[in-house]
Homo-oligomer: A and B are copies of this chain.
Amino acid sequence: MAAFPDDFQDQLTLLMRLRRDVRRFRSDPVEEALVTHCLDAFRLAPSVGLSETWRLVRVQTPAARAAALANYKQANAAALAGYGGDEAADYSALKLSGMEEAPVHLAVFSDESSDKGRGLGAQSMPEMRRYSVVCAITLMWLRARAKGLGIGWVSILDAQALARRLDVPDDWVLVGYLCLGWPEAEGETPELETLGWEERRRDLPIETR
């Protein structure tokens, strides 16, 4: 099996370095063809037993977007209440979602009731269905960044309440709520590191058995 050219590999590393979780978007629209290009990453993604349990919902009516934003604000207020003193001040100074500006919102679910793939590989580890959806989101993230687009993954949410509000089937579990759009800036450094909340490790410890 052939390796890809060295210059491609270097660019792939650069792509991974520049892939950020984006919370600061310009509000310009994203052409539909580009949105489709990003979403098509799902069709290239692995899934346990070829179960392909991903289910995609574009959240685009003003009412649905407002409900998602309200859900985030409530969850963020609850998270803030868990911090005290300086840490609370630091937390509240962070911008943790670009939901108000990002032109495209996508709620990505896993249909836990699907029998596609006939349960292969998911009997022992049913979480593999959701993990497969995460793999697909990761491919989309890279594909979007290669186009100059940014994705922000919002996890400060009451996922069950949001699923109910979006009126999806009971067996659909929310895996990721994604904002897609044109970032205000690019960079190699995560914003949480720039703002002093947390640093990335420079090493990668590996144990042996």
Residue A166, interface by CB 8 Å: yes
Please name all residues of chain B whose beta carbon is closer than 8 Å to the beta carbon of A190 when the two chains form the complex: 46, 50
Contact call A182/B1, Cβ cutoff below 8 A? yes
Please name all residues of chain B whose beta carbon is closer than 8 Å to the beta carbon of A197 when the two chains form the complex: 49-50, 117-118, 120
Given contacts A1-B183, A50-B200, A139-B16, contact A78 B123 (CB under 8 A): yes
Alpha-carbon gap, A84 to B54, bound state (A): 27
Q: A175 CB to closest chain B CB, in angstroms?
A: 7
Alpha-carbon gap, A202 to B50, bound state (A): 12
Given contacts A46-B141, A49-B198, A128-B155, 18 further A-B contacts (CB under 8 A): A1-B183, A1-B185, A2-B148, A2-B186, A8-B146, A39-B204, A42-B204, A50-B199, A61-B208, A83-B118, A87-B118, A96-B120, A117-B197, A121-B155, A124-B158, A131-B176, A134-B134, A167-B209
12 residue pairs of the A-B complex, CB under 8 angstroms, read A2-B186, A4-B147, A5-B11, A16-B139, A19-B44, A91-B120, A94-B120, A116-B198, A125-B156, A128-B155, A138-B138, A167-B209
Q: Which 8 A-B pairs have the closest CB atoms?
A: A3-B148, A1-B186, A138-B138, A16-B44, A50-B198, A134-B134, A64-B209, A125-B155
